[in-house]
A = this chain, B = another copy of it.
Amino acid sequence: MNDSEMRHAIGIDFGGTSVKLALVNERGAILVRRKFNTSDAPGQQGWLARVEQEVASIRAEAAPDTQIVGAGVGVPGFVDFERGYIYELTNVPGWTGVHLGALLEERIGLRTRIDNDVNAMALGECTFGAGRTYQHAVFVTLGTGVGGGLLINNKLYRGAHWMAGEIGHVSIDMNGIPSPTGFGGVEQYVGNRRIVERMEKAIDSGRATILLDLVNGDRSRLSPKVLKEAADKGDVVALEILEYVTDCLATAFASITYILQPQAFIVGGGVAEDAKLLFQLLRKNVEKRLSAHFSKRLEIKPAELSNDAGVIGCATLALIE
């Protein structure tokens, strides 16, 4: 089947710093890309005008007979998927209570689906990426926080009010770190900033470690990536931190497995890329925390779509929902 016979959709990955657009075919391949800075198109009107313009430019570049069935938008915040309505966005001002679906359909003349960005990524990974062979899978993205999306019976499960999959708030310690979402939520232990704090604390303790050498003494460059690099070189301090971080994650994964028994966890986000050791430790710690009945029937795999997970996932919303 060549491209002119396939269905296509436009994915619009609405991030706090940039907005990425892509024309994606029904096999998950990207044909045309666009990108602009979120701050260059402020407010609803600015954003809508710019997206309309970029969509027109994508259409102009695409082959004339390209069949575009719709558009999907992934946003960083809470949405009502059914109504295409944004309750509010986490780090983008001016987007509280917006019927983005209707507004965008009017501008671009395409059937439009709106969802949470992590749900969109989960759908993309479970359709075209590491989760494509599973019916029941949990997608996890590691970054500033820990996000999640649930595939149940081969469909994205959004919960009673479109808020399911907030696995960063799963408690790993009922008396643990307090936050507005409870006590001991796993992202309070494994979010990027928490990892860097642990690295700094270890450095301050005076223990022998190459962590600071790897950034030429510049603490502002410490990151989970540096941690992985040090651990790969056998740095004992880095290994300890990675062990701890993966064990915290494993606690949440084990709880989720006892509840849902998915076939697989698909783990994405910067920390999880090129992270063989992280996956080894994660697997080991999950096995420690699950009975064999469960652990032998569970896979833990890295995501495959990397930086394109967002736009591909957004397009997938329009292709299959």
Contacts and interface: CB of A to CB of B under 8 A. Distances in A.
A31 to B, nearest CB: 34
Interface in A288-303: 288-291, 293-294, 297
B160 A136 contact: yes
Contact of A258 (B161, B170, B174, B175): B170
Given A174-B247, A254-B182, A160 B259 contact: no
A14 to B, nearest CB: 20
A255 to B, nearest CB: 4
B294 A262 contact: no
Interface in A277-321: 288-291, 293-294, 297
A171 B255 contact: yes
A164 interface: yes
A7 to B, nearest CB: 26
Given A174-B172, A174-B173, A297-B161, A258 B136 contact: no
Nearest to A158: B261
Contacts of A175: 173
A259 to B, nearest CB: 6
Interface in A238-295: 247-248, 251, 254-256, 258-263, 288-291, 293-294
A103 interface: no
B136 A262 contact: no
B152 A135 contact: no
A8 interface: no
A85 to B, nearest CB: 15
Nearest to A260: B164
Interface in A126-167: 135-136, 148, 150, 152-153, 157-161, 163-167
Contact of A259 (B165, B172, B182, B248): B165
Given A157-B152, A181-B291, A293-B163, A174 B259 contact: no
A183 interface: yes
A167 B258 CA distance: 6
B136 A251 contact: no
A167 B256 CA distance: 9
A78 interface: yes
Contacts of A294: 163
B290 A182 contact: yes
29 contacts: A135-B160, A150-B260, A153-B153, A153-B157, A157-B260, A159-B260, A160-B262, A160-B263, A163-B261, A164-B261, A166-B261, A167-B258, A167-B259, A169-B255, A170-B258, A170-B259, A171-B289, A172-B174, A173-B173, A173-B175, A181-B290, A181-B291, A182-B288, A182-B290, A182-B291, A184-B251, A185-B258, A259-B260, A260-B260
Q: Which 7 A-B pairs have the closest CB atoms?
A: A159-B261, A169-B258, A174-B251, A182-B289, A164-B261, A166-B258, A170-B255
